[in-house]
Structure 1
Amino acid sequence: METATPVQRRVVRPRADALRNRERIVAAAREMFVEFGPEVPFDEIARRAGVGNATVYRNFPDRDALAREVVCSVMDRTSEWAEEAIAGGGDAFEALGGFVHFSADERIGALCPMLSEAFDQNHPDLVAARDRITDLVEQLMARAREAGQLRPDVEFGDLIVAVSQLTRPLPGTACQGFDRFVHRHLQLFLDGLRAPARSELPGVAATVEEMRRA
């Protein structure tokens, strides 16, 4: 004889206003982490987001959780851009360059270093976002290399280190207007990636595994 199945619990979905509040908090935190660094007070983030302190803590119980969400959301948006570029075909080097400039607009160079040292590098959300974007960068580079547009001695580590260094402003409001220099210097860097190479690169590029250990 079959037993009666228990009544399924109704799934309670977040309200639309709660989702909007969470998005506002993440957006405000992203801006303020770039401007002032990861130690910016939660009450300042709440003020910029237009919510109360309790709403921030209800969504993010500690600074690690908020910083991780900010970085993962940035990596996810950048990954989505790369997926669309790959799916759309077109000029391979143009797609790689577009990815680099989009990454700069998303402030990857300023935000990702926050997850070093004290943060849990093996958190499932962070690992998934990092693995996704790593795979997509390698695909973008492989397409440009196969098209004969990317110099053959350039690897993943070269791209990531350069983008991180060229897009990382010093904290503080004095860095407003920094974007016009970032995109200018990134374009100079991209021109140096083009094949044929005009010089021999010294040293050896870092592999994906080495970059993850760094």
Structure 2
Amino acid sequence: MQTATPVQRRASRPRADALRNRERIVIAAREMFVEFGPDVPFDEIARRAGVGNATVYRNFPDRDALVREVVCSVMDRTSEVAEQALAEDTDPFEALERFAHAAADERVSALCPMLSGTFDKHHPDLEAARERIERLVQELMDRAKAAGTLRPDVGVGDLMVVVAQLSRPPAGTACFSVDRFVHRHLQLFLDGLRAPARSRLPGTAVTVEELRQA
């Protein structure tokens, strides 16, 4: 088998400036999707990213490709926060709280309206990002339950649906003006998750699978 030369290997790797441009496009797209919805013109995204239209299309040949990259990048960053919380030697419930507030800041579910139409919900990249974050949140919750600080009758779906509702203002509104309420109301919910429980919840703990089918 013929081994690639150093020149060939360098040529096969994206240049640093190309990687920076791609990252700038994803960041700009995320901001504009949250502010205005998924139909923002590519030229507006290019303008905010500080690149040309051709650069956007070279990295993302269609809107679905860009939307998928934005959603995956947000989930990956949220997963990194969960990993940091798990790695720290702190109270398990406090770690869960830090994750929940960070997830709200990422506005994961403000992007949910884009997961419709022709978007491939089962793309391998999206599935991998989703499975990673679900596994990490489950671990955070399991640790808090084992420590006796998280009520036992809640599931990953219960947490994620509330984070979703609080971080999902309608696109195109002055969504950032309500930021001061998000963490206040999220903390009220998190306080309700503490053990011992002060009430009996109707129904059963919500699983991630149930959220997918909803």
Q: TM-score, normalised by structure 1?
A: 0.93
User: Pairwise CA RMSD of aligned residues?
Assistant: 1.4
**1:171 corresponds to which residue?**
171
* Structure 1 residue 66: Cα displacement: 0.4
**Hey, what does 1:84 align to over in structure 2?**
84
User: Do 2:154 and 2:206's aligned partners in 1 also have CA atoms closer than 8 Å?
Assistant: no
SS of structure 2 residue aligned to 1:178: helix
Q: Distance in 1 between matches of 2:177 and 2:160?
A: 23
CA deviation vs aligned residue, 1:113-142 (integer Å, no higher than 9, x gap): 422343111111001000000000000000
Matched, 1:123 2:123: yes
Offset at residue 201 of structure 1 (A):
0.8
Q: Percent identity?
A: 74
Instruction: Please state how far the C-alpha of 1:211 moved relative to its aligned partner.
Output: 2.3
Shift of 1:103: 0.5
User: Could you say which residue in structure 2 is the equivalent of 1:67?
Assistant: 67
Quote the offset at 1:191 in angstroms: 0.6
Which residue of 1 is the match for residue 26 of structure 2? 26
Gaps of 5+ in 1: none
Unpaired runs of 5+ residues, structure 2, are none
Give the deviation of 1:15 after TM superposition. 1.1
Q: Deviations over 1:85-108 (max 9, x none)?
A: 112221100010100100011111
Q: Give the corresponding residue for 2:187.
A: 187
> Could you report, residue by residue, the CA deviation over 1:31-81 in whole angstroms, capped at 9, with x for unpaired residues?
000000111111110111011111000000111110110010111111111
2:4 is matched with which residue? 8
AA of the residue aligned to 1:187: Q
Partner of 2:199: 199
Shift of 1:177: 2.2
Deviation at 1:25, TM superposition (A): 0.3
SS at match of 1:176: helix
- TM-score normalized by structure 2? 0.93
**Equivalences, count:** 210
